[in-house]
Structures are given as structure tokens and as C-alpha cells.
């Protein structure tokens, strides 16, 4: 990929390909996964009918559509690096009959947003992957009106997220430990420390920064078999399973299945997810 408007090349390549395609294929499952956390974000946002909303890392657009329904006399723009996910977002918005929502493929770190064109910036787990988070949040700030609000969800430390550690711990008895990179490198847990969040946002020109811990069950599937089918297609799982022979891969998946069996309930398999709700204002 050689797009001068994209600087997060590795992320763009992954989300344009297998990872984005997996999210489209399992769109409803991903929505169920974070169903206990999403309402907390929108309760905190309290979108006004006339708000103009920027949704960063919007994926398949569920949060953008939610924002558009609230901003009935305003507008919602969803931006993401994933073409497959944005195409699905557009299909879903059209099917819903929403006329005040648009989607655009854009790298929020460098995209030339019209200055002061949004009242609110939101993101549900879409801001942890910037190569330069200070530059990215600074660029997002320029898109907000003075005093404009920024609200997002990001993951707490890996050790607080059983929905990851339980299946991963079982698999790691058979596959190599993944390279998670340095804590300040792009990845799902790059903003896991509140002090780092505060420093990044302060350096990027925000004030009144708060981080609030929230937890909710993360539904992985109808049962252990269903959950394993879903989890085996996630990017990090695909990468790890590709490093071992087929028999070892099957043993790893069997171990994950066994680890999830004790968590089966009549309404499915669920494990705890822990996130930060972050709020701030542009200076």
C-alpha cells in the first residue's frame, strides 16, 4: 500500500485485508462482544440533536450510526483504515435509511480534517493503533471546535482482561508467546496506563482529562466450540497458529476450548473485559 495520506502503513495493510474481512464476517459477534461497554460510552457522550460527530476508527459503523441517530439535526462522520469495513458501514447505514451519516477511508493521524468542524470526537477501541499518538490526537483536536469534547474507550492492562488471558493462556502452552511490542507501540493495550493517556492528551492540547475504569462481560460465543471458531480468526490468533504445524495448532485450539468450557452458561460464553472511559476537552 502506497497512500501518502496514510502513515500507519502496517495497520492499514492488516485492516484492509484479513483483519478487516474477519470483522465484516463477524460483525454481529463483535457488537455482542462489547455490548456491555458501548452504552457506557454513549451515556457519557450525551450527543445533542445538532452535534457534529467524528467517529475515529469506526469499523463497520455501528457507533457512527448510533451517533447519527442521536444527532438528528447534526451529522456523523466515521473514518477508518479498512475499506472492507467501511463498505459494510455504508451498506448498513443505507439500509437503515440514515441520511446524516457518511464514511471515509482516512488515517486520523494525518488526515486534513476541516478545522473546527466537529463538536464531538468519539472512538470505541479505535485509538490505540497510532504510530504517533500525540500527533494523531493533535490532528483530531484541530478537527474539534474550541472546547469540543473527546470521548473514547481503550483497554486496560491485558492482565485485567480475562476474555483475552483465559483463551490466550491455554493456547500459549502450544504456540510461541507473541511479540506484543513495547508498551508505547501501536497495539490494543498501548493506552492501558492512565498516566500515559493523560500525558499524551495533555501534549496533544486537551484539558479536563478523566479516565474511569469500567468492566463488563464479553460474550465470546454461544458455547466453547462457537467461541473457538470465532477467536481462531482474530489476527493475533491467525499469526500464532501459522507459526506451528497443523497438529500443534489443533492441540492449541483444543486447549482453548477446554479452558472456555467452565465458562459456558445458558446465554453463552462470557469473560470479563476491562476498559478505560476517557473524556477530555480541546483547549
Q: Tell whether the model's pLDDT for residue 10 goes beyond 80.
A: no
Give the Cβ contact number of residue 256 at 10 Å: 25
Residue 236 confidence (pLDDT): 81
Percent of the residues in the chain that have a pLDDT greater than 90, as a whole number: 85
pLDDT at 175 over 50: yes
**Radius of gyration of the CA atoms of the chain, in A:** 19
Give per-residue pLDDT as tens, 204-261: 999 999 999 999 999 999 999 999 999 999 988 888 898 999 999 999 999 999 999 9
Nearest-5° Cα angle at 6, 56 to 85: 50
Tell me which residue of 93, 42, 39, 48 sits closest to 74, measured CA to CA. 48
Residue 161 in contact with residue 128, Cβ under 8 Å?
no
pLDDT at residue number 280: 98
pLDDT value, residue 2: 42
Q: How confident is the model at residue 1 (pLDDT cuts 50, 70, 90)?
A: very low
pLDDT for 162 equals 97
Q: Exposed (0-12), middle (13-18) or buried (19+): which is 240, by Cβ within 10 Å? A: buried
Quote the cell numbers at residue 76. 456523523
Label residue 177 by pLDDT band (50, 70, 90): confident
Q: Residue 76: how many CA atoms within 13 Å on its side-chain side?
A: 28
Question: What is the model's pLDDT at position 213?
Answer: 98
The per-residue pLDDT for 17 is 77
CA distance linking residue 129 with residue 81, whole number of Å: 11
CATH class of residue range 9-282: alpha beta
In the chain, which residue ranges form alpha helices assigned H by DSSP?
9-16, 18-25, 27-33, 38-45, 62-70, 83-96, 133-143, 162-171, 194-203, 224-231, 235-241, 246-260
Q: What is the pLDDT averaged over residues 149-165?
A: 96
Residue 130 bridge partners (DSSP): none
Q: Please name the residues in contact with 72: beta carbons below 8 A apart, sequence gap of 6 or more.
A: 49, 100
Average pLDDT value for the chain: 93
The size of the chain, in residues, is 283
Task: Give which of 84, 101, 141, 144 is closest to 119, Cα–Cα.
Answer: 144
Concatenate the DSSP letters of all residues of 47-96 into one string.
--TT-EEEEET-TTSHHHHHHHHH-TTSEEEEEES-HHHHHHHHHHHHHH
Averaged pLDDT for residues 98-115: 97
What pLDDT sits at residue 180? Answer: 65
pLDDT at 4: 46
Structure-block grid coordinates of residue 223: 458455547
* pLDDT (average), residues 35-45: 97
What integer pLDDT is reported at residue 53 of this predicted model? 98
**Statement: residue 137 has pLDDT above 80:** yes
Do 83 and 109 form a contact (C-beta atoms < 8 A)? no
pLDDT digits (tens, 9 = 90+) for 50-92: 999 999 999 999 999 999 999 999 999 999 999 999 999 999 9
Q: Tell me the C-alpha distance between 261 and 195, whole Å.
A: 37
Amino acid at each position: 500500500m502506497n497512500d501518502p495520506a496514510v502513515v500507519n502503513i502496517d495497520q492499514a495493510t492488516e485492516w484492509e485485508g484479513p483483519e478487516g474481512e474477519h470483522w465484516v464476517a463477524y460483525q454481529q459477534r463483535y457488537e455482542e462482544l462489547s455490548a456491555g461497554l458501548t452504552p457506557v460510552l454513549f451515556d457519557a457522550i450525551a450527543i445533542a440533536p445538532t452535534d457534529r460527530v467524528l467517529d475515529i476508527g469506526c469499523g463497520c459503523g455501528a457507533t457512527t450510526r448510533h451517533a447519527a441517530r442521536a444527532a438528528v439535526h447534526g451529522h456523523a462522520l466515521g473514518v477508518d483504515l479498512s475499506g472492507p469495513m467501511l463498505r459494510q458501514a455504508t451498506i448498513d447505514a443505507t439500509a437503515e435509511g440514515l441520511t446524516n451519516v457518511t464514511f471515509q477511508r482516512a488515517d486520523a493521524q494525518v488526515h486534513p480534517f476541516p478545522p473546527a468542524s466537529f463538536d464531538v470526537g468519539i472512538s470505541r477501541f479505535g485509538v490505540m493503533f497510532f504510530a504517533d499518538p500525540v500527533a494523531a490526537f493533535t490532528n483530531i483536536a484541530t478537527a474539534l471546535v474550541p472546547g469540543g469534547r473527546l470521548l473514547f474507550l481503550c483497554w486496560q492492562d491485558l492482565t485485567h482482561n480475562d476474555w483475552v488471558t483465559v483463551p490466550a493462556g491455554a493456547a500459549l502452552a502450544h504456540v510461541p508467546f507473541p511479540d506484543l511490542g513495547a508498551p508505547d507501540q501501536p497495539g490494543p493495550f498501548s493506552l492501558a496506563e492512565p498516566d500515559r493517556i493523560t500525558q499524551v492528551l495533555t501534549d496533544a492540547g486537551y484539558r479536563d482529562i478523566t479516565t474511569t475504569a469500567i468492566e463488563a462481560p464479553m460474550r465470546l460465543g454461544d458455547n466453547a466450540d462457537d467461541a473457538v471458531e470465532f477467536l481462531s480468526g482474530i489476527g493475533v490468533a491467525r499469526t500464532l497458529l501459522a507459526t506451528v504445524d497443523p497438529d500443534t495448532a489443533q492441540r492449541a485450539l483444543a486447549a482453548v476450548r477446554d479452558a472456555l468450557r467452565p465458562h459456558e452458561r445458558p446465554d453463552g460464553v462470557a469473560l470479563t473485559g476491562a476498559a478505560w472511559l476517557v473524556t477530555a476537552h480541546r483547549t
